[in-house]
């Protein structure tokens, strides 16, 4: 079977997305052959984002959906960011998504209250929900560490907390970890995969498109995940014909 391909709204750049709105780019993604769209919470310009309107656009275009929110589950002190997390969960439900994406924050085993996390998810009706709450590996020392993430997921499993993982291929490059070793460590928990690469610009790393080379390094991670798991384009798409470029990269990931 062909893997589902999602397009993250952020790939078109904040200025352009905020000018045209995420509904516009969801429709572009559908025309380009994508089967899903990742809404970015930080790109809404409205104080009250038009979630119901966007939900209808996604439905009319037969797109599965996810929402990414710049929310760390745990504060720097290891406390639950309950208000922000609860709001994110509620907005995901209103939007009708299949995946809600957050990051870990500073999880402190023995201090960070998994009971509070469980209660927050219960209040948002996520314990028996078809929506996956996921934690993404980010570019930090704590949220981009495969061992720490594995420990968190194991602790959640023991506590009966249904939380899964967004595996961001490119972010391991910033964190300095081996991508395939991270995939081997975390594959049991992964339900959603972000694809981007990195290149050096002015002495630092910047997000870059995937190479189309059949021997490109990013392809080595593919065997760790089933074709049922969404593959998400999260690298910059820039050019005069955004639809053609989106179609090109969609086909790259479908056939990889």
Q: What is the dihedral of CA 134, 249, 226, 187, to 10 degrees?
A: -40
What would the mean pLDDT of 34-49 be, rounded to a whole number? 95
pLDDT of residue 201: 83
pLDDT at 204: 86
> Into how many domains does the chain fold?
1
Residue 63: pLDDT band (50, 70, 90) is: very high
The answer to whether 177 and 144 have CB atoms below 8 angstroms apart is yes
Q: Residues 179-214: pLDDT tens digits?
A: 999 999 999 999 999 999 998 888 789 999 999 999
Q: Which tokens hold the place of 129? A: 């929900």
Residue 98 has pLDDT above 90, yes or no: yes
Task: Give the DSSP letter string of 49-79.
Answer: --HHHHHHHHHHTT-EEEEEEEEEEE-TTS-
Q: Are 103 and 71 in contact, with CB atoms under 8 Å apart?
A: yes
167 CB burial (10 A radius; 0-12, 13-18, 19+): buried
3-state secondary structure of 107: coil
Q: What is the mean pLDDT of residues 135-151?
A: 96
- The pTM for the full model equals 0.96
Q: Which domain holds residue 251?
A: 5-255
Cβ neighbours around 203 below 10 Å, total: 5
Q: What is the CATH number for 41?
A: 3.20.20.150
Please provide residue 113's backbone torsions phi and psi, each rounded to the nearest 5 degrees: -85, 105
Average pLDDT over residues 149-178: 97
Distance of alpha carbon 167 from alpha carbon 154, whole angstroms: 16
Decide if 107 contacts 143 (C-beta within 8 A).
no
Task: Pull the structure tokens for residue 67.
Answer: 């929402």
């Amino acid at each position: 079977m062909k893997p589902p391909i999602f397009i993250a709204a952020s790939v078109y750049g904040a200025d352009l997305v905020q000018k045209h709105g995420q509904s516009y780019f969801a429709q572009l993604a559908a025309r380009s052959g994508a089967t899903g769209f990742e809404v970015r919470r930080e790109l809404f310009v409205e104080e009250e984002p038009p979630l119901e309107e966007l939900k209808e656009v996604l439905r009319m275009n037969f797109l599965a959906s996810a929402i990414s929110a710049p929310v760390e589950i745990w504060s720097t002190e290891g406390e639950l960011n309950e208000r922000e997390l609860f709001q994110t969960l509620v907005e995901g439900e209103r939007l009708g998504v299949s995946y809600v994406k957050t990051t870990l924050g500073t999880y402190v085993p023995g201090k960070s209250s998994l009971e509070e996390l469980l209660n927050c998810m219960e209040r948002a009706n996520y314990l028996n929900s078809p929506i996956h709450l996921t934690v993404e590996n980010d570019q930090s020392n704590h949220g981009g560490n495969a061992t720490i993430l594995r420990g968190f997921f194991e602790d959640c499993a023991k506590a009966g907390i249904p939380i899964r993982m967004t595996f961001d291929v490119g972010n391991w490059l910033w964190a300095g970890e081996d991508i395939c070793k991270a995939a081997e460590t975390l594959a049991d928990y992964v339900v959603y995969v972000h694809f981007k690469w990195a290149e050096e610009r002015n002495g630092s790393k910047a997000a870059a498109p995937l190479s189309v080379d059949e021997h490109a390094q990013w392809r080595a991670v593919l065997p760790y995940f089933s074709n049922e798991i969404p593959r998400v384009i999260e690298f910059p798409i820039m050019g005069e014909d955004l639809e053609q470029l989106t179609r090109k990269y969609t086909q790259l990931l479908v056939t990889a």
